[in-house]
């Protein structure tokens, strides 16, 4: 193994170093780009959903509040898209404002 004899040899930046820094930069950029973006719709703050907002403020029980969602969001009234996840877990994705 060769020992460095002067400061220039100690601080030499190689292509490998630059590639590592570039790779880390790409990972950080991707993480920044995908964070903070909501991919789902919020529960509307309207008269139809007011009772759900009030129930969450009063009890804070997500499971009990979600039981009311099916009264409107069902196959007859407002059907869910075909690839929609389980309808019993509305407030995991859909946030109350």
Confidence check: pLDDT of 86 > 90: no
pLDDT value at residue 2: 60
Mean pLDDT on 44-69: 89
pLDDT digits (tens, 9 = 90+) for 11-24: 788 999 999 999 99
Which CATH fold topology does 47-93 show? Answer: Flavocytochrome C3; Chain A, domain 2 (1.10.1130)
DSSP type of residue 96: B
Q: What is the pLDDT of residue 26?
A: 97
When comparing pLDDT for 24 and 78, which is higher?
24
What is the rounded average pLDDT for all residues in the chain? 84
Task: Give the pLDDT score at 9.
Answer: 65
Specify the residue for token string 């780009």: 33
Alpha carbon distance, N-terminus to C-terminus of the chain = 63
Looking at residue 21, its pLDDT comes to: 97
Query: What residue spans define the domains of the chain?
Result: 47-93
Q: What pTM value is reported for the model?
A: 0.54
User: pLDDT digit string (tens) for 28-55?
Assistant: 999 988 887 667 788 899 999 999 999 8
CA 75, CA 70: separation in Å to the nearest integer? 9
């Amino acid at each position: 193994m060769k020992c460095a004899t002067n400061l220039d040899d100690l601080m030499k930046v190689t292509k490998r170093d630059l590639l590592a820094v570039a790779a880390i930069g790409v990972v950080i950029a991707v993480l920044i780009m995908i964070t903070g973006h909501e991919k789902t719709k919020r529960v509307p703050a309207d008269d139809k959903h007011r009772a759900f907002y009030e129930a969450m403020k009063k009890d804070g029980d997500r499971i009990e509040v979600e039981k009311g969602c099916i009264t409107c969001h069902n196959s007859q009234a407002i059907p869910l898209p075909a690839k929609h996840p389980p309808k019993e877990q509305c407030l995991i994705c859909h946030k109350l404002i």
